[in-house]
Structure 1
Amino acid sequence: MNRANNSIWQGRFDGDSPLQHRIWQRVSHHENYSDISPKDFVLHGFAVEEGVRRNKGRVGAAAAPEIIRKNMANFPVVKPEFTLKDFGDVSDSSALETVQAELAERTAAGLVRGGRSLVLGGGHEVTYAHYSGIKKAFHGKKIGIINIDAHFDNREPEEGIGASSGTGFWQIAQEGTIHSLHIGIQRNSNTLKLFDTAHKYGMKYITADEIFFENLPGIYERIDELAESVDVLYLTICMDVFNAAIAPAVSALAYNGIFTDPAFMHFYRHILQSEKLVAMDVAEVNPGLDPDQRTARLAASLLNEWLMI
Structure 2
Amino acid sequence: MNNIWQGRFDGEEALFHRVFQRVKEENNYDTISTNDFVLHGFAVEEGVRRNKGRLGAKDAPDIIRKNMSNFPVILPDFTLLDFGNVTCEDGDLEDTQNTLAKNISKVLLKGGKSLVFGGGHEVTYAHYLGVKTAYPEQKIGIINIDAHFDNRQPENGVGASSGTGFWQIAQEGEINSLHIGIQRNSNTLKLFDTAHQYGMKYILADELFFENLSSIYQRIDELLNEVDFAYLTICMDVFNASIAPGVSAAAYNGIFADATFMHFYRHILKNPKLIALDVAEVNPSYDIQDRTARLASCLMNEWFMV
Instruction: Specify the TM-score bucket, using the shorter chain as the normaliser.
Output: over 0.9
Give me the TM-score of the superposition, normalised by structure 2: 0.99
Indicate which of 11, 16, 20 corresponds to 2:7: 11
Indicate which of 118, 124, 129 corresponds to 1:121: 118
Q: Distance in 2 between matches of 1:297 and 1:282?
A: 12
Indicate which of 48, 51, 60 corresponds to 1:52: 48
1:288 is aligned to 2:289? no
Indicate which of 121, 128, 140 corresponds to 1:143: 140
Q: Distance in 2 between matches of 1:301 and 1:282?
A: 11
SS at match of 2:94: helix
After TM superposition, list the pairs within 5 Å mapping 1:180-195 onto structure 2.
Answer: 180-195=177-192
* Matched residue type, 1:242: F
* Matched residue type, 1:108: S
- For residues 147-186 of structure 1, the C-alpha deviation after alignment (integer angstroms, 9 at most, x for no partner) is 0000000000000100000000000000000000000000
Indicate which of 200, 204, 207 corresponds to 2:201: 204
Indicate which of 164, 168, 173 corresponds to 2:170: 173
Q: Distance in 1 between matches of 2:38 and 2:178?
A: 24
| 1:83 alignment partner in structure 2 | 79
* Matched residue type, 1:57: G
After TM superposition, list the pairs within 5 Å mapping 1:227-266 onto structure 2.
Answer: 227-266=224-263
Q: Distance in 2 between matches of 1:226 and 1:86?
A: 30
Residue 119 (structure 1) shift: 0.2
Residue 92 (structure 1) shift: 2.3
| 2:66 alignment partner in structure 1 | 70
Does the CA-based 8 Å contact 1:242-1:259 persist in structure 2?
A: yes
SS at match of 1:188: helix
* Matched residue type, 1:166: G
Q: Distance in 2 between matches of 1:102 and 1:96?
A: 10
- For residues 206-225 of structure 1, the C-alpha deviation after alignment (integer angstroms, 9 at most, x for no partner) is 00000000000000000000
| 1:30 alignment partner in structure 2 | 26
| 2:301 alignment partner in structure 1 | 304
Does the CA-based 8 Å contact 1:62-1:92 persist in structure 2?
A: no
Q: Distance in 2 between matches of 1:6 and 1:47?
A: 17
* Matched residue type, 2:220: I
1:160 is aligned to 2:161? no
* Matched residue type, 2:10: D
* Matched residue type, 2:13: S
Give me the TM-score of the superposition, normalised by structure 1: 0.98
| 1:61 alignment partner in structure 2 | 57
* Matched residue type, 2:163: G
Alignment RMSD (CA, Å): 0.5
Residue 138 (structure 1) shift: 1.0
Q: What are structure 2's unaligned runs of at least 5 residues?
A: none
Q: What are structure 1's unaligned runs of at least 5 residues?
A: none
- For residues 245-269 of structure 1, the C-alpha deviation after alignment (integer angstroms, 9 at most, x for no partner) is 0000111110000000100000000
After TM superposition, list the pairs within 5 Å mapping 1:221-232 onto structure 2.
Answer: 221-232=218-229
Percent sequence identity is 71
Q: Distance in 2 between matches of 1:293 and 1:189?
A: 25
Q: Distance in 1 between matches of 2:162 and 2:219?
A: 26
| 1:275 alignment partner in structure 2 | 272
* Matched residue type, 1:307: F
Q: Distance in 2 between matches of 1:193 and 1:138?
A: 32
* Matched residue type, 1:47: A
